[in-house]
Amino acid sequence: MDKNTGFKPYVPAEKITPELTFTSIFMGVILAVVFGAANAYLGLRVGMTVSASIPAAVIAMGVIRVILRRNSILESNIVQTAGSAGESLAAGAIFTLPALFLWAAEGKTSKPSLLEITLIALIGGLLGVFFMVPLRNALIVKEHNVLPYPEGTACAEVLLAGEKGGANASTVFAGMGFAALFKFIIDGLKLVSGEVSGRVKGYAGEIGTQIYPAVMSVGYICGPRISSYMFSGGVLAWLVLIPIIVLIGADAVIYPSTELTISQIFAESGASGIWSNYIRYIGAGALAAGGIISLIKSLPLIIKTFGGAIKSVKGSASNSLLRTEKDMSMKIVLAAILVLTLLVWLVPAIPVNPIGAIIIVVFGFFFATVSSRMVGLVGSSNNPVSGMAIATLLIATLVLKFTGNNGIKGMCSAIAIGSVICIIAAIAGDTSQDLKTGFLLGATPKKQQISEVIGVSAAALAIGGTLYLLDSAWTFGSEAIPAPQANLMKLIIEGVMGGNLPWPLVFIGVFIAVVVELLGIPVLPFAIGVYLPVQLNACIMIGGIVRLVIDKIKREEKEKEAIKNDGILFCSGMIAGEGLVGILLAVFAIFGLDKIIDLSGFVPKTISDIGGLVLFAIIILTLLKFSLFKKRKKEV
């Protein structure tokens, strides 16, 4: 039992079972490389990646328990811990590093070397893991009942279902099967729309919803409160700010647009065009302000946590700690952070000066903290890593500009800094989810942290080759792989260096965040709602509403708890199922199989939208079938 929370993990601290074995590490490394490559392609194509923690857990559980016939749940946990690191490292890398390829295509600089990409990825990944070591106790343990970490919890449920078998396993695997089918219909066969939106004629606002089971599942797991904060941010952005911009801007040309007027952008791309050109800057400002506010509010707990961690450096009696409380040695962690900081500055392949190295350490720790808290609320799949990268790039580029690092050299340095920070934030979020899973299962934190280091190292060695392969095959910025996030980062840096960044939009976001905080509303989920598309927020909100309905049903307390838990199990399975098919479809796309199975040309848009809504209703009904309406054996 944990002495801070009174929580008792599945595997007691006194029990020793296999964890960090050759088998678990070997499988974890393979999954890290595979998931990293698949998600790199996916992110460069659509601007988003899928979390690999749960797919890795499912694969680990299947191989270790079914094929190898081993019974250690903690060994399976190590596999998913190392394996999911590849996806997170890829997410951080692809949102920034392709900008260097884009500048090379314009003749401004040469392509980054494989060594440069590998070192940036490796240093960012390792810093992300090491920063989370002293934060584990503060965020994972002491806030166990505050931060749900939906994917970490779902991952634990998947592993427990495989361990316990029976009804729990059937509920999880039913969720996996249904979500896999739904995802394949939506994004594989493309028979129905994955997103349905509408607006009132004469009003520029737009509302709609995505149709994805995993997104709805995040809302169910997080609950109605957090979901409503995110949805509120989306409503403000899409039903208030966008109409105001269209109404007042009208025929004005406002940067970042240099040719098209507001009316022309809206006529060509609708509300989405205004969102991508303007609202995302407001969202980035809100996220940056929300992150700073969150950090200030967390400082007492962080300082206290660091104080306790540093005591271990002075030789505190770590042997008295329970197995489930042992982290990596703070001596090793602090020494590693120092060495990595020096490498950032001294290695010629990384274009960063001493000021840049300091920025990386300061902002890296800041965003590691913020990222961990955010994924604790909304899950890794919705962790706005690019939003944090935008905030970092704004400050880093300004600092570099004012210290004389102008031109392409300064811009490449800013991207290197932003890349490391972006990877730190992504890895910190992934590590947090994995440590939450380990906390619930009774894993040894130190062994999980070591497996994260191994997974990050393997993925870093593979990501450079992956980027070169994709650029050689299709070229970044092309229709096949438009690299939307990297293009945005490139635009921001060029805007700051040229002095024409839309600062008013950024400051609007900052002061929206301040007002929200003064009203007593948690600012981070609200800011995330402003930054992300309203359709995604609405889908999460629908999941939250389903959870609210189930929570309000008048049943005996024990039965209500069983219904809620079955819903969480089913949603956990749906997240896993969609994640696995997402990876599969990414592989299909790499080999060109996606076009062969694409049937969208045979379905009119109206029919596709109606089909999407019908499918969403079916998704909700399947969740209710396996939770509210599930037949349960009466206890004797």
Please report whether residue 15 resides in a domain: no
What's the whole-number average pLDDT of the chain? 85
Split into its structural domains, the chain has a count of: 1
Q: Is 349 left (phi over 0), alpha (psi -120 to 50) or beta?
A: alpha
Percentage of the chain with pLDDT > 90? Answer: 37
pLDDT of residue 463: 93
For residue 549, the tally of other CB atoms under 10 A from its CB is 12
pLDDT value at 387 more than 80: no
pLDDT of residue 165: 56
More confident residue, 470 or 51: 470
Binned at pLDDT 50, 70 and 90, residue 316 comes out as very low
Counting Cβ atoms within 10 Å, is residue 201 exposed (0-12), middle (13-18) or buried (19+)?
A: exposed
CA 509 to chain centre: 21
pLDDT of residue 389: 76
pLDDT value at 519 more than 60: yes
Lowest mean pLDDT among 318-332, 374-388, 575-589: 374-388
pLDDT value at 403 more than 70: yes
pLDDT of residue 228: 95
Please report whether residue 12 resides in a domain: no
pLDDT value at 383 more than 70: no
pLDDT of residue 609: 95
More confident residue, 239 or 503: 239
Cβ density class 450-477: b for 16+ within 10 Å, e for less: bbbbbbbbbbbbbbbebbbebbeebebb
pLDDT of residue 119: 93
pLDDT of residue 310: 53
CA-wise closest residue to 50 among 59, 60, 41, 62: 41
pLDDT of residue 391: 78
Most confident of 148-157, 358-367, 495-504, 509-518: 509-518
Domain that holds residue 62: 22-625
Percentage of the chain with pLDDT > 70? Answer: 91
Q: What does the pLDDT look like over 535-592, one tens digit per residue?
A: 989 999 999 999 999 988 888 888 888 888 889 888 888 887 887 888 788 888 878 8
Please report whether residue 557 resides in a domain: yes
Binned at pLDDT 50, 70 and 90, residue 317 comes out as very low
pLDDT of residue 462: 92
With a CB cutoff of 8 Å and minimum separation 6, the contacts of 467 are 40, 93, 94, 97, 98, 101, 117
pLDDT of residue 5: 58
CA-wise closest residue to 151 among 454, 389, 372: 372
Distance CA 34, CA 44 (A): 16
pLDDT of residue 404: 83
Distance CA 390, CA 392 (A): 5
Distance CA 439, CA 140 (A): 8
pLDDT of residue 307: 64
pLDDT of residue 199: 87
Please report whether residue 525 resides in a domain: yes
pLDDT value at 4 more than 70: no
Tell me if 575 sits within 8 A of 539, measured CB to CB: no
Q: Look at the block and give the residue holding tokens 């998913």.
A: 80
Lowest mean pLDDT among 150-154, 391-395, 617-621: 391-395
Q: Which amino acid is at 358?
A: I
Counting Cβ atoms within 10 Å, is residue 634 exposed (0-12), middle (13-18) or buried (19+)?
A: exposed
pLDDT of residue 539: 94
pLDDT of residue 139: 83
pLDDT value at 320 more than 60: no
pLDDT value at 156 more than 80: yes
Please report whether residue 636 resides in a domain: no
Distance CA 163, CA 65 (A): 9
Mean pLDDT calculated for residue range 512-526: 91
Tell me if 383 sits within 8 A of 49, measured CB to CB: no
Mean pLDDT calculated for residue range 521-542: 89
Mean pLDDT calculated for residue range 403-408: 84
pLDDT value at 267 more than 60: yes
Binned at pLDDT 50, 70 and 90, residue 56 comes out as confident
pLDDT value at 331 more than 70: yes
More confident residue, 37 or 514: 514
Q: Which two tokens stand for residue 87?
A: 């996806």
Most confident of 240-249, 277-286, 574-583: 240-249
Distance CA 354, CA 352 (A): 7
Tell me if 529 sits within 8 A of 237, measured CB to CB: yes
pLDDT of residue 470: 84
pLDDT value at 486 more than 70: yes
With a CB cutoff of 8 Å and minimum separation 6, the contacts of 12 are 442
pLDDT value at 490 more than 50: yes
Q: What does the pLDDT look like over 587-636, one tens digit per residue?
A: 888 788 888 999 999 999 999 999 999 999 999 999 999 998 887 665 43
Most confident of 231-245, 319-333, 474-488: 231-245
Q: What does the pLDDT look like over 299-314, one tens digit per residue?
A: 776 676 566 555 544 5
Q: What does the pLDDT look like over 75-124, one tens digit per residue?
A: 999 999 998 888 889 888 988 999 999 999 999 888 999 999 999 999 99
DSSP, collapsed to helix, strand or coil, labels residue 207 as strand
Please report whether residue 630 resides in a domain: no
Cβ density class 221-246: b for 16+ within 10 Å, e for less: bbbbebbbbbbbbbbbbbbebbbebb
Mean pLDDT calculated for residue range 335-357: 87
Please report whether residue 632 resides in a domain: no
Q: What is the pTM of this model?
A: 0.77
More confident residue, 542 or 158: 542
Please report whether residue 631 resides in a domain: no
